[in-house]
Structure 1
Amino acid sequence: MTTRVTLISPAAGLAQREVRFDDDGPLSEAGLRRARTAAGTLPGADRIMVSPSMRCRRTAEELGLPAEPMPAPAGCAMGRWRGRSLAEVADAEPEAVSAWLSDPGFAGHGGESLRQLCDRVGAWLTGVAAESGRVLAVVEPDVVRAATVCALRLPMEAFWRLDVAPLTATELSGRSGRWNLGLGRSLGHGGREEGSG
């Protein structure tokens, strides 16, 4: 039983351009335009899913995808760092930022650890693979990274080495436990958008 999962990263918002922990702020005008341009270019799907963030919901809407938000593929919960810039947090809590970048179990920000994110996304991916067919999901870049780490059984440290540009498709095909990966296909017309996640 083969499942094809296409993970679409959302259009860029202001938080990504400012290197800020996502605060579920609005998309940039350029991001909205790119999403509208890409509408109608996506492959057909048996199931369409979307992360609950405003950024993912708005991207799905602009792409013309009818989807109900689902909590399972939500982005990483960043606790008290949410909405703050990386520079601001690094100045205030340098040891915590260092631990966050080096220890997959770190959750000192009061949110979710990288390990918890990967476990949650891996369980979601396993559930999606229980049914054959095509799945299209608009999800946060960290969910794309976590899904890639889980699908390929990479060490969690690889998470930080995966760059996911806005409005790109990452394609997983196969079944739970044995996936093939296609990375970073740009949607619609145009190249990379500023503010890759």
Structure 2
Amino acid sequence: MTSRVILISAAISEALREARFDDGSPVDAAGLRSARTAADAGAVPAGGRLWVSPTVRCRQTAEALGLEGGVDASELAGLDVGRWRGATLAEVSAKEPEAVALWLADPASAPHDGESVRAFCDRVAKRLDEAAGFDGRTVAVVEPEVVRALVLRVLGAPGSAFWRVDVPPLTVMEFSGRAGRWNIRAGRPLAERA
């Protein structure tokens, strides 16, 4: 039995453009246009199951891509940054430089009173483990940090590598495997046909 998990990173939003920690902001007009263009071009992969991160941005992206009937996958919610939610990285760095430095260097730290990178990676890996039990395709629309976390898990990379994985909006990351052993097909723009 071969399982495939196709992750689609959410479309661009104002928060992402501003390097602002997610505050529930919607996809911006350019992001919606890009998603609709990909859908119109037939570039959106089909799957037997659809998972959608519960963020506004992911739900809007899935809708713009024409993906309907998805299961709200709370385990695939973005990283909980606690009190930093809604602030830009520059604002937080100016107010709490030591806390930001610790957070970026130590995957077990959570100076924002939210979730550590390590705990986040463990949380989202549970969904990948679940997908290993399915034959066929699972498509998931997720936040970029979910893609990062799963790349680290599949490669067995340390949590310190989390910030070294760039995930542009509307790109596809595909995992395929059996018996929990995954391979990665990395970073295809959604605009290319699946």
**1:70: how far off?**
1.6
7-16 vs 148-157, which moves further = 148-157
Distance 1:88 1:116 in 2: 24
Gap runs ≥5 in structure 2: none
Give the TM-score, by structure 1 length. Answer: 0.93
In the alignment, what sits opposite 1:154?
157
Distance 2:78 2:31 in 1: 19
Tell me how many residue pairs correspond in the alignment. 189
Q: Is the 8 A contact 1:126 1:176 kept in 2?
A: no
Distance 1:145 1:176 in 2: 22
What is the letter of the counterpart of residue 63 of structure 1? Answer: L
Over the matched positions of the two proteins, sequence identity in percent amounts to 56
Distance 1:93 1:176 in 2: 44
Distance 1:98 1:152 in 2: 25
Aligned CA RMSD, in angstroms, stands at 1.1
Q: Is the 8 A contact 1:21 1:85 kept in 2?
A: yes
1:22-45 deviations in whole A, cap 9, x for unaligned? 111021111110000011322221
Distance 2:177 2:165 in 1: 21
2:135 to 116, 132, 141: 132
Give the TM-score, by structure 2 length. Answer: 0.94
Gap runs ≥5 in structure 1: 190-197
**1:144: how far off?**
0.2
1:117 is aligned to 2:127? no
**1:49: how far off?**
0.7
Task: Name the CA shift for 1:166/1:140 in 2 (closer, same or farther; >3 Å).
Answer: same
In the alignment, what sits opposite 2:51?
49
**1:58: how far off?**
0.1
In the alignment, what sits opposite 2:90?
87
In the alignment, what sits opposite 2:21?
21
